[in-house]
């Protein structure tokens, strides 16, 4: 069984190794992986971690079944949850600790993985492994942001930042929900692609560094009902300005780092609900699979091109998702 291990360098690099195979134990499944996708998180992990199999998002074929597992057969096509033991219900530290491809838990940039059976979700024949492998982190996170507590309503205005994995899934899901979408990007070409996917208004945040003014202009000075902030401290103050009184901000991103001065006054004065998001449970992945969503796969790399996939993620030229194909 071949697998990649992180080398621990500042510049994400992986090296191919022959790994030890093991049979699935009690309540576990062995899965022959067919595809994986990359997330911004994988760059953060790669900077600090060594000798770990990276990447959280995998899809493949069940090849072994441990004792006590029900509902799966060898040959089933499945996608694996980001946190295989957060099936549903409240989030806990113990469930968070099961996240694949980080925190000491090997990930899916390998030909085979053994995971708790609770993490596997069957996928329909019409969904390719490459498509399924985009769902566990970015897709589930976008779903959590839009639908978890107070689902976005038809006609509400949703603000999305950039055209990476999370934001493009949020665009697709917000349109399914009947919302009006404003999306930003540094690239006019990507904004054209966002329009083709249904974005109602687009803003180039390079051409308009004060992009919150554009959001207010597009919403008659009121602001968005809901904003999905993937940027963090470098974007949050503008997102606060872009959000209406009584609106909601779903904060999950760290594209501009982890710390910075935040104008807390506008959170309270505008009575804004600011909610943190950390991916979501396997139940959400199951719901997402049922939508039949067509993920936006920007490029598929071969297994041998894994380092090129990391380079592409780092240079952020992608729209939607980057995928690595595994095996035959």
Binding site for ligand NAP (CB under 6 A): 39-41, 137-138, 141, 161-166, 184-187, 190, 205, 230-231, 234-235, 252-256, 277-279, 313, 316
Nearer to ligand NAP, 77 or 190 (CB): 190
CB 134 within 8 A of CB 295: yes
Nearer to ligand NAP, 24 or 102 (CB): 102
DSSP 159: E
CB of 229 to ligand NAP, least distance (A): 9
CB of 138 to ligand NAP, least distance (A): 5
CA nearest to 225, candidates 266, 279, 269, 273 = 273
Nearer to ligand NAP, 233 or 247 (CB): 233
CB of 214 to ligand NAP, least distance (A): 13
Pure H helices in the chain: 40-48, 93-96, 129-132, 140-147, 165-176, 188-196, 211-218, 233-242, 264-269, 282-291, 306-315
Residues 6+ apart with CB under 8 A from 62: 29, 30, 31, 72, 73, 74, 75, 76, 78, 120
CB of 122 to ligand NAP, least distance (A): 23
**Residue 35 token pair:** 């595809």
Which burial class, exposed, middle or buried, applies to 110 when counting CB atoms under 10 A from its CB (0-12, 13-18, 19+)? Answer: buried
Nearer to ligand NAP, 178 or 260 (CB): 260
How remote is the C-alpha of 230 from its chain's centroid? 11
Nearer to ligand NAP, 148 or 305 (CB): 148
CB of 233 to ligand NAP, least distance (A): 10
Nearer to ligand NAP, 81 or 253 (CB): 253
Cα dist from 151 to 2, 144, 146, 250, whole Å? 42, 9, 6, 12
CB 57 within 8 A of CB 136: yes
Cα dist from 196 to 182, 190, 206, 245, 298, whole Å? 13, 10, 21, 30, 15
CB of 82 to ligand NAP, least distance (A): 8
CA nearest to 57, candidates 290, 328, 279, 292 = 279
- Please give the residue whose beta carbon sits closest to ligand NAP in the complex: 164
Nearer to ligand NAP, 16 or 254 (CB): 254
CB of 71 to ligand NAP, least distance (A): 27
Nearer to ligand NAP, 84 or 165 (CB): 165
CB 84 within 8 A of CB 98: yes
CB of 285 to ligand NAP, least distance (A): 13
């Amino acid at each position: 069984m071949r697998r990649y291990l992180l080398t621990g360098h500042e510049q994400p690099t992986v090296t191919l190794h022959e790994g030890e195979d093991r049979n699935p134990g009690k309540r576990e499944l062995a899965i022959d992986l067919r595809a994986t996708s990359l997330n911004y998180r994988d760059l953060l992990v790669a900077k600090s971690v060594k000798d770990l199999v990276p990447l959280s998002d995998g899809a493949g074929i069940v090849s072994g079944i441990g004792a006590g597992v029900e509902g799966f057969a060898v040959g089933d096509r499945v996608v694996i949850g980001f946190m295989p033991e957060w099936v549903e219900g409240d989030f806990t530290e113990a469930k968070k600790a099961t996240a694949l491809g980080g925190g000491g838990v090997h990930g899916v940039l390998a030909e085979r993985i053994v995971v708790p059976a609770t993490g596997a979700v069957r996928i329909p024949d019409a969904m390719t492994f490459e498509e399924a492998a985009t769902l566990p982190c970015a897709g589930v996170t976008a779903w959590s942001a839009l639908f978890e507590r107070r689902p976005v309503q038809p006609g509400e205005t949703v603000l999305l930042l950039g055209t990476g994995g999370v934001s493009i899934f949020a665009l697709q899901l917000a349109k399914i929900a009947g919302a009006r979408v404003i999306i930003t990007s540094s690239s006019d070409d990507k904004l054209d692609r966002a329009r083709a996917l249904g974005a109602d208004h687009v803003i180039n945040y390079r051409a308009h560094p004060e992009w919150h003014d554009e959001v207010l202009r597009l919403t008659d000075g009121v602001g968005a009902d809901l904003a999905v902030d993937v940027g963090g401290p470098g974007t949050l103050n503008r997102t606060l300005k872009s959000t209406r009184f009584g609106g909601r901000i779903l904060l999950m991103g760290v594209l501009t780092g982890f710390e910075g001065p935040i104008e807390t006054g506008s959170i309270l004065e505008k009575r804004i609900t600011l909610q943190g998001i950390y991916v979501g449970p396997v139940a959400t992945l199951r719901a997402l699979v049922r939508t039949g969503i067509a993920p936006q796969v920007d490029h598929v790399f071969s297994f041998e091109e894994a380092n090129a996939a990391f380079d592409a993620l780092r240079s952020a030229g992608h729209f939607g998702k980057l995928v690595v194909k595994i095996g035959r």
